[in-house]
Structure 1
Amino acid sequence: MLSGTAPSTQLLRRVNAGAMLKAMRGAGVVTGTELMAMTGLSRATVISICDELVRLGWLQELENQRGAGDYIKGRPARRFVFDDAAASVLGIDIGANKITTIVADMSGTPLAQVTMPFRTYNVSAAERADVLDKIAADALSKAGVSADSVLAVSVGVAAPVSREGEVLTVQEFWKSFDVRRIVSERHGWHVLLENDANLAALAERWQGTAQGVDHLVVMLAGDRLGSGILESGRLLHGHVGGFGELGFLNNVEGVGSTYGIAYDAAEAGREVLAEQTGTALLELCGGNPDALTAEMVFQAAAEGDAAAQEALAGVALRMAKVVGAISTLANPELVVIAGGVAASAEVLLPGIAKHLPDFTFTPPRLATSTLGEGIVSLGAIRHALDYVEEHALDLSPSSLPKRAS
């Protein structure tokens, strides 16, 4: 019995410390009594963990004030505040042709965001790592923090990722670019790896339109489709990390691929161009259908062009089949379309909603994300903060440089 007691006690203490940090983030100055109410923990546990978190540099204890009694017999309340500047975290999104990095403090407040073009093919792993170094250094400089202040880095990739943080893919790009190992070796940072759509789901529930929604699907829907799925507020990974992968759409009639809204809108626009000449699409693309983009199709449709509206009606029907298939499997309350295409995709929602009952008995609510193209990096910040909270008793921010004022 005793052999299992110490590990169990330590695990419980870690869980309680994480719960207290989560409760204190953004709460301002709190007393022990208030922390008891916020966490459900006993006074002895709250004070003991607060003392340890103060020692480690996570909390600051303020001078005693007499007044609202935390203790009996007139003893002044002990007051604590979470130190937002205790350390930093990085969130990195490695996309098909660019990297976006966000630096945030311990409250999750972004301090700086940097985006840089990035060629993923025909570039050596060392060159890719050099680009990543430059972006991270630029972001840290703009944030006014040092590399030594970084406690955790989370990286989002467009590939399935195992529970152990390994990329599950045969793509040569990820075989040659072990981003977790390279970044860790170069900087000494603890590096987490996660699927980009999963991180988008974390971001959306944290700060987006899905706040408070426990049963959620977030779809990155640019050139390709990817989904992150939350069930009862918990991100689902599946047996080896492939939950939410959408390869099965190749076999769904009327969908046939994992191409996303941006790709589909451009292709649909080219199809109507081949059949109609009296359309604004022809002028927008300079008479060259190959130059037509999704943005041009959405612009023409917004200006009342019938051909563009016809093209987008087809895109809405296809997306209804996509959402219907996912909803039949996962039964979410809400499906959010996210990524760079989200702002334009708002116009598709009525058409998708109209067709949804034809493809699922459990049609969800629909929304588009307002978090923009930084959604994956923002989700990576949430992912890194979750790691920090879980391991707060193993980390010592008190020994790290503070943010420049």
Structure 2
Amino acid sequence: MNAAMVLGFMRESGGPVNVGELMELTGLTRATVIAICEDLVDRGWVRELENGRSTAAYVKGRPARRFAFDAQAAFVLGIDIGNRRMTAVLADMAGTVISRIAVPFQVLNAPAQERADLLRAITDDALAKAGVAPERILAVSLGVAAPVSRDGEVLTAQEFWGTFDVRKALSEWHGWNVLIENDANLAALAERWRGTAEGIDDLVVVLAGDRLGSGVLESGRLLHGNNGAFGELGYLYQLEGVGDPMGMAYWAHHWGREVLDSGATTRLREVCNGDPDQLTAEAIFAAAADNDTAAIEIVNRLSLRMARVIGSFSTILNPEIVVLAGGVAAPANAVIPIIQKHLPTFTSTPPKVKASTLGDSIVSIGAVRHALNYVEERALTLRPRSMPDPSEAVVPDDIKETA
């Protein structure tokens, strides 16, 4: 417990700490602190630094020994297996991104072998780009668009969900510790770690692009439910004024096409260059900002719809903040004031609503955080692969015989 506390303090400090500081933190004796630090050096997690004292002048007393957490002792991989793209992010133990590979990919109906081959290819590309050997990866986290239990099992009640159960394909590739988690849950971890909801314990993140999905943190704890389906929004089929779990991007495009098909006078025809298939939520929000009447009406309809959605789960979950994330996050600022205005109509506990600033990296960032959590919780049993494990050391025959 003392070693874990010392290692955690050194990791969070982000810089060198001396023995005196560690003594003050832990209440341990100098000898014990030094013994722990030396053990952590042997394990490969910590480096001892020069004391930094100038040799030009005499200073009474022993120089303080200084140690620092080695953020590049090992690495983790965070992977987003999205519906249209697969992204792999390699990060060190401080969460600093070392390399990132993104490849367009249509998951729907893709053969399992093709999906596994691409997954292996992008992980190896991410390692090669950073010059990191596979054995230095201590954990890999996969983000998937399917419910995942707290034990890391994909719920296969729907055939589409089952297509995301690809953990085995990667764990057999390099013998890695491979975790799997729902993409919206990872988005929630990302927002609390480095997003607009940094440090917030009661939080809902809604991936609001083509289809709605949510990740929920309660008292800082990620909620899964019995089979991992906590946060699934299928109940929206029964919610009056909503009717389905399709997202803001889907309905913006759908309603925009209706306007174009009606022959109404609108800038929407101009912003999509006359091609309705190219009409995006972002273009509609931009037209609304230019006072286009049809675009403003679509924005108002989207806002009212999302207020009903947010109000429904806010009544049950009572989050402090709801973050709108995914492909519509950037333009979502246009609808947030209207959503906030409508919310008291649908819930007596309206949360703050914000737009994510993490862009399309949100799931891969959350996957990195997920992998880091795994390693940090097991740091005293996991060893950076570049360090020899004493239990696996080769003992010379003469010592074996003596023993």
After the TM superposition, which residues 127-166 of structure 1 pair with which residues of structure 2 at under 5 Å, given as runs? 127-166=114-153
Residue 342 of structure 1: SS of its match in structure 2?
coil
Task: After TM superposition, give the deviation of residue 291 of structure 1 in Å.
Answer: 4.5
**Counterpart in 2 of 1:362?**
349
Residues 13-92 of structure 1 mapped to structure 2, 5 A cutoff: 17=4, 20-21=7-8, 23-25=10-12, 27-37=14-24, 40=26, 42-43=28-29, 46-64=33-51, 74-92=61-79
Q: Secondary structure at the match of 1:84?
A: coil
Alpha-carbon separation, structure 2, partners of 1:107 and 1:268:
44
State the aligned residue count. 382
Residue number among 83, 104, 129 corresponding to 1:117 in the alignment: 104
Look up the SS of the partner of 2:330 in the other structure: helix
Q: Structure 1 residues 282, 363: CA separation in 2 closer, same or farther (over 3 Å shift)?
A: same
Greater relative contact order (Cα 8 A, min sep 6): structure 1 or 2? 1
How high is the TM-score relative to the length of structure 2? 0.88
1:199 aligns with 2:196: no
Residue type at the aligned position of 2:182:
N
Shift in Å, 1:45: 6.1
- Report deviation, 1:48: 4.3
SS state of the match for residue 240, structure 2?
A: coil
Distance 2:255 2:214 in 1: 23
Structure 1 stretch displaced more, 243-252 or 73-82: 73-82
Which of these residues, 337, 343, 364, is aligned with residue 377 of structure 1?
364
1:53, distance to aligned residue in structure 2 (A):
1.8
Contact 2:43–2:387 (CA under 8 A) maintained in structure 1: no
Give the alignment's Cα RMSD to 1 decimal: 2.3
C-alpha displacement at 1:63, in angstroms? Answer: 3.5
Q: d(CA) in 2 for partners of 1:373 and 1:122? A: 22
Q: Which residue of 2 is the match for residue 242 of structure 1?
A: 229
Larger mean Cα displacement after TM superposition, 123-132 or 45-54: 45-54
- Which of 268, 280, 299 is the equivalent residue of 2:286? 299
Cα deviation code 1:295-314 (max 9, x no counterpart): 33123223321111110110
Going from structure 1 to structure 2, the CA distance change for 1:160 and 1:47 (only over 3 Å counts) comes to farther
Counterpart selection for 2:240 from 248, 253, 260 = 253
Letter aligned with residue 234 of structure 1: R
Note if contact 2:242-2:305 (Cα within 8 Å) is conserved in structure 1. Answer: yes
Distance 1:326 1:263, change over 3 A: same
* TM-score between the two structures when normalised by the length of structure 1: 0.88
Aligned sequence identity (%): 59
In the alignment, the residues of structure 1 paired with residue 340 and residue 13 of structure 2 have an alpha-carbon distance, to the nearest angstrom, of: 37
Partners of 1:42 and 1:270 lie apart in 2 by 69
Deviation at 1:19, TM superposition (A): 6.7
Give, in whole Å, the separation in 1 of the partners of 2:137 and 2:27: 30
Structure whose alpha-carbon radius of gyration is higher = 2
Contact 2:148 2:155 in 1 (8 A): yes
